[in-house]
Amino acid sequence: MYDFDKVIERKGTNAYKLDLREKYFGTEDLIPLWVADMDFAAPPEVQKAIQARSNHEVYGYTIRKEEFTEAIVNWCKYKHEWEINKDWIEYSPGVVPALVFSVLAFSNEGDGVIINTPVYPPFYSVIADNGRKVIKNSLINNGSRYEIDYELLEQQAALETTKIYILCSPHNPVGRVWTEEELLKIHSICKKHNVLVLADEIHSDLALFGHKHIPFASISEEAAMNCISFMAPSKTFNIAGFSTSYVVTANDKFLKGYRTTQNRLQLHMGHLYSGVALTSAYNVGKGWLKELTAYLESNVLFIEEFLKNKLPELSFFRPEATYLIWIDFSEWSLNQKHLKEFLAYKAKVGLNDGLSFGAEGRGFMRLNVASPRAVLKQALEQIYESRQLL
């Protein structure tokens, strides 16, 4: 049994989630439920592996050996029933940097890149900061979940300048796990119009409530040849402070193009703990992840019940994956600026501003449920109590 109820003091660790509260919210006096890392201790087995390596006195340049790719191959088969070849794998310093390398390698300035909005904010900068055009395919809220607008996707992919589709799978922030039918539709459209699929699957291990993540590249051999997958154990095992990301593609041309760009930018080395953290997490973290998943599910259900009983005007679709929930605050009738300020200064809770995910996020805020139950309960109570001030 692992203790996910333990409240761990993170002050003094240079934690992004805590130390940037003043910059992001204008105050440090709030409960931070925003940045997408967890407030839980990493698996004890991973801690031991890191500590064992730390006990050696030399921290020089390091390489990733066979056990690095073996751990990835074994994990993908175990967790996703996806059989990959070790020669399809390349290390990356992070999923977002890897997306940048891929955009640089497989498109030119002025080319279009499709994203499903609202979406993880760096998707916008990955495209726009590198001189490409953001093509927004807004997700459709059907009243019970979000869906992709395939008619619009067809039109966007057909544009001569559209070269890439970045698929967020599972989707952040709306929590969708795309079905095989949905993935096949995406593949059909992108293949037809020669659009490369970049599948950000960093949350793939965190499927909830019986849902099962399907790697995009696993749906067919043809899809595998028109795709680069981006994965990492960072979200899964709360080791985002290490560079443990990697890319997978069966297409030699794409793998070579990716490597060429990453190497050209001199970002292929990684660091001492990259391989240690990844291999230990994948090799011995299965039991920990099962218990974590159950705890995250219970946290989501707890929040559902709390809102139902005390704040029924707030709503969200139960996430099919991730530890993030996308809460609709529109019934409060506050503009986005006042909503963010009200939560920060009155409720003293720090959530992600929905507008940072795109215009479709107006009236929404993203809440991270990966904290001890007592922390979530305190945050929700503060929102409830402050509600009386509206």
Listed by start position, the domains of the chain span 16-43+286-385, 59-284
Give the span between the Cα atoms of 256 and 14, in whole angstroms.
37
Closest-CA residue to 166 (of 122, 205, 203): 122
Give the span between the Cα atoms of 331 and 280, in whole angstroms.
46
Give the angle 67-68-69 at the CA atoms, nearest 5°.
Answer: 95
pLDDT for position 64: 85
Closest-CA residue to 207 (of 323, 376, 285, 304): 323
Q: Record the tokens describing residue 277, joined without a space.
A: 């953290």
Which residues of the chain are modeled with pLDDT < 70? none
User: Does the CA dihedral 206-37-378-7 come out positive or negative?
Assistant: positive
Give the span between the Cα atoms of 59 and 307, in whole angstroms.
49
DSSP helix/strand/coil, 23: helix
pLDDT for position 172: 98
Which spans in 193-246 are helix H?
221-224, 234-237
DSSP helix/strand/coil, 163: strand
| Residue whose entry in the numeric block shows the structure tokens 């997978």 | 248
- Decide if 16-43+286-385 and 59-284 have a common fold: no
The reported pTM is 0.97
CATH of the domain spanning 16-43+286-385: 3.90.1150.10
CATH number among 3.40.190.10, 3.40.640.10, 3.40.980.10, 3.30.420.40, domain 59-284 = 3.40.640.10
CB 311 within 8 A of CB 387: yes
